[in-house]
Structure 1
């Protein structure tokens, strides 16, 4: 798709999955602002945005998390713990994810442990982030 510069995508295209994310209904989006408000599993780094000041307040991504997995959820957890309200653009913005090879998941258990600790302690800061301690 990128090589051919074909940016016109339809929910009816071959191989398209989770077609609900390709539906544009802005009026429904405004009704969903409380949609999974504190559920960190409904966050994806590729579709995430936040204010710089909020990112700095929690010290950015936790660099103790290495490889693939849990880095986005752990970040969202600290943002929510610090009082940032999660918002959604479901049905307001069209989202398609391009398939790609997954990176190694060797550290996935360790990464999940870090995320679970952040949840349990209601942490708002990580020591190994933008500012390194």
Structure 2
């Protein structure tokens, strides 16, 4: 049964308007729409704003653009700000460099469960196929139709949507490992309870996993879903990882000390 809760789709982005357009085109094609779409923009330039304005008429729901100044990688902060602007009870979070299966939102609403947050998976697209797709970007009304057997797709198991076998692709655990903000869903009340993302985590690396630690420390279980909520991740170069040791230390401290909230998070202006 699909959750009757009002949902918000939050899409994080930074200076890749071509990918964001693919992502928003796939949102426009959803079989069940969220109540609103919110772009969490970590300081992109005017090209990204132009894409958002061009795509707004194609969506049947409000499209909000939450932006802050570019002062380095501050994904945690902009996601907190996006959630502050959300009106949904249930929040579905993706990155702006993914293409969503048409049943992506429906699948997440079906997977939603009180006392749980949902971690999905993603298939990947090779560098060559990504370049090919982006070079063909010539229409605001079309985007690539992808499936598990499409050329250039790997991690193909993650591209399978077999909802009648969903019980085989579902499990729960009280571990924060392998949580990715690119395919994540949670109740807004739970997010507020743990004070959201930790703004101290600046630069690339595991801000989503640290959030998951605090969910789990509050007895909110991780629900892993496969064979549904399918997305395809466009290839890009990896981000610099000079902050990763500090982030890893923060995660370990949250785990060992059973930290349930953060001081510099959602509630801070």
- TM-score interval w.r.t. the shorter chain? 0.7 to 0.9
* Distance in 2 between residues matched to 1:32 and 1:6, nearest whole Å: 28
Query: Against the structure 1 CA distance between its residues 9 and 32, is the aligned structure 2 distance closer, same or farther, given a 3 Å change threshold?
Result: closer
Q: Which of 1 and 2 has higher RCO (CA within 8 Å, sep 6+)?
A: 1
Given the alignment of the two structures, is residue 80 of structure 1 paired with residue 213 of structure 2, yes or no?
no
Q: State the match for 1:43 in structure 2.
A: 179
Any gaps of 5 or more consecutive residues in structure 1?
none
Q: Deviations over 1:1-54 (max 9, x none)?
A: 36354330132333321100111122332244325x223223210100111100
Deviates more, 1:82-91 or 1:44-53: 82-91
Given the alignment of the two structures, is residue 62 of structure 1 paired with residue 188 of structure 2, yes or no?
no
Q: Could you state the TM-score of these two structures normalised by the residue count of structure 1?
A: 0.87
Q: State the match for 1:100 in structure 2.
A: 236
Q: Do the aligned residues in 2 keep the contact of 1:29 with 1:88 (CA within 8 Å)?
A: no
Query: How many angstroms does 1:115 deviate by?
Result: 0.7
From the two aligned structures, give the one with the greater strand fraction: 2
Q: Could you state the TM-score of these two structures normalised by the residue count of structure 2?
A: 0.45
Query: How many angstroms does 1:95 deviate by?
Result: 2.1
* Distance in 1 between residues matched to 2:161 and 2:149, nearest whole Å: 14
Q: State the match for 2:123 in structure 1.
A: none
How many residues get paired?
132
Given the alignment of the two structures, is residue 119 of structure 1 paired with residue 255 of structure 2, yes or no?
yes
Query: How many angstroms does 1:97 deviate by?
Result: 1.3
Q: Do the aligned residues in 2 keep the contact of 1:22 with 1:95 (CA within 8 Å)?
A: yes
Q: CA RMSD in A?
A: 2.0
* Distance in 1 between residues matched to 2:220 and 2:165, nearest whole Å: 23
Q: State the match for 2:163 in structure 1.
A: 26
Query: How many angstroms does 1:66 deviate by?
Result: 1.0
Q: Secondary structure at the match of 1:91?
A: coil
